[in-house]
């Protein structure tokens, strides 16, 4: 690639990496490698974030993520984790209904949380 293309891709880099071709070429090559790798990593990271959010949302109702998903799979509810995490954030009552469906199918967690503090409001 010629120098202009390299410098165009090196915008925002730190120090000499944006101005000097020898350094910029190395950094741009590395940046392109990282972006290739991270296009694949982003899918993994996003799914992991959805799972963490669903976990937090279900634990508010006394069920952990594993038992919740097992119950959903048993009921053949095919909602994906992206949608489930958005439901947990924006539609709490619908999410609670889903948690109840999962709990009736698979009552893995026997202990119901003691209503203390904020969770009593939910």
Partner 1 sequence: MATTIPTSAFIATPLRCSTGRSSAIWVQKAQFSASSSSLGVSLSLKRPSLRLVSVRCETNGAGMPVIPAEERWMYEESEINGPDIWNKTWYPKAADHVNTEKTWYIVDASDKILGRMASTIANYIRGKNLATYTPSVDMGAYVIVINAEKVAVSGQKRSQKLYRRHSGRPGGMKIETFDQLQKRIPERIVEHAVRGMLPKGRLGRTLFTHLKVYKGSEHPHQAQKPIPLPIRDKRIQFVKK
Interface with partner 1, residue 116, by CB under 8 A? yes
Question: 68: how many CB neighbours lie within 10 A of its CB?
Answer: 25
Q: What element of type H or E holds 50?
A: helix 21-59
Shortest Cβ 73–partner 1 spacing (Å) = 21
Interface with partner 1, residue 118, by CB under 8 A? yes
**What are the angstrom distances between the C-alpha of 101 and each of 3, 64, 68?**
60, 14, 9
- Tokens describing residue 112: 């119901």
Angle at 108 between CA 105 and CA 112, to 5 degrees: 105
Angle at 52 between CA 50 and CA 58, to 5 degrees: 100
x/- track of binding to partner 1 for residues 60-99 (CB under 8 A): x---------------------xx-xx-xxx-x--x----
Of 28 and 84, which has the nearer Cβ to partner 1?
A: 84
Selected from 56, 73, 79, 97, the binder of partner 1 by CB under 8 A is 56
Shortest Cβ 88–partner 1 spacing (Å) = 4
Which candidate, 85, 86, 68, places its Cα nearest to that of 77? 68
Question: Which range binds partner 1 by CB under 8 A, 22-30, 32-40, 96-104, 111-119?
Answer: 111-119
Question: What is the contact surface with partner 1 in residues (CB under 8 A)?
Answer: 46, 49-50, 52-54, 56-57, 59-60, 82-83, 85-86, 88-90, 92, 95, 113-114, 116-119
């Amino acid at each position: 690639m010629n120098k202009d293309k390299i410098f165009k891709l090196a915008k925002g880099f730190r120090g000499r990496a944006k101005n000097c071709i020898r350094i910029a070429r190395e950094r741009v090559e590395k940046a392109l490698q990282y972006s290739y790798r991270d296009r694949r990593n982003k899918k993994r990271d996003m799914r992991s974030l959805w799972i963490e959010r669903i976990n937090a949302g279900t634990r508010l109702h006394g069920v952990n993520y594993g038992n919740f998903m097992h119950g959903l799979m048993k009921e053949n509810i095919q909602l994906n984790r992206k949608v489930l995490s958005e439901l947990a954030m924006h539609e709490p009552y619908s999410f609670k209904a889903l948690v109840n469906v999962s709990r009736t199918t698979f009552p893995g967690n026997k202990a119901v949380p003691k209503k203390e503090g904020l969770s009593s409001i939910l």
